[in-house]
Structure 1
Amino acid sequence: MALSVRVLLSQIQRCRPILAANQTARCLSQGAAQAEPSEEENESVNPTFVNRNPRNLELMALAVKDRGWKTVWPHREFYHRLEFSRTKHHVTANVFSSNSPVPVLTCSTKEWALKRDLYSTGCVAACQAVGEVLAHRCHQAGITRMVYRAIPWTYRSDAVQSFRTALKEGGITLSEPRRKYIDN
């Protein structure tokens, strides 16, 4: 193997003066001249457009909201829905999409990152911490508006109010715009 490498190197050294004299060598040649783009090509619009952002219509409030039945609670007319639950041991918040039964985002005091900084995992301070962390995660996911319908008999509690204020201070709007209808 070493012998073949030496032979190759000697052949390269012998050809080097020839390459310097001959400018048509491949390594010294210049690239082919490219044609100038015409102005008509730059200004033309593609006749077919594919929207690659699945949430684009949702952000413009043009996407279809599944209405469901009027008698179903909680209502199904939303893009994203916030569900907040509090037990005597833990606080959990989930964000659901309209077309998926699996939560898009979750935050709970069962997570060690939250649990280690809290004295109690079911108190008002825990609700506020869950609200702050969920607001941060929502911003990272690009969700800034969602529907939150609290259960009426728990709405006025201090824990739920601290959770709501933490979300609002984090920049989350707890209502969605009405759907816009375009006349064809």
Structure 2
Amino acid sequence: MDTSKPMRADARRNYERLLVEAKRAFAARGVEASLEDIARQAGVGIGTLYRHFPTREALLETLLRERFDAQAAAGREQLARAEPLVALKTWLAGLSASSADYRGLSEFLAAALDDETSPLYASCHAMQEVASQLVEHAKAAGELRGDVTAQEVLLLLHAVSWAGEHSPGGGGLPRLLDLVFEGLRAS
């Protein structure tokens, strides 16, 4: 969406309604929710949705931008913790929890890490930068295996998030994250 000029009042209302309905639809049906249904629930045509958000990823990026900014800030705060591995795990648990709000989101985010054309690419790389700092901090403290990379940790997190989405009851995420960290811990 072109933000260089102000939106007309009706266009702004449509934009806001689309975001509200997309948030509801993605929370209820996952990131593959029908864009046509989102437009219909917002009281606009599909063309209006695409005028504001040319792709599903652009719509997701708009919904997630504030959350990602907050998550990046939380990661930078975790760097000051005395226990770097706990800081990394705490940050990843928060990231995983926020990714779990929309079923299927972890797959979109994992794919966006390698797709420079994705509207989610910049946000995903901001998360990767914070993860890099936390991983390096834990490695320097001797708490994390020296051969682990931030990208590997994020991919493991996406795998754990996916598994958490598909586990009976969905309550296995903390346990799965604990198991991953047992394997990542320095001997």
- TM-score, length-scaled by structure 1: 0.33
Greater Rg by CA: 1
Richer in strand (by share): 1
TM-score (norm 2): 0.33
Greater relative contact order (Cα 8 A, min sep 6): structure 1 or 2? 2
Structure with the higher fraction of residues in helix conformation? 2
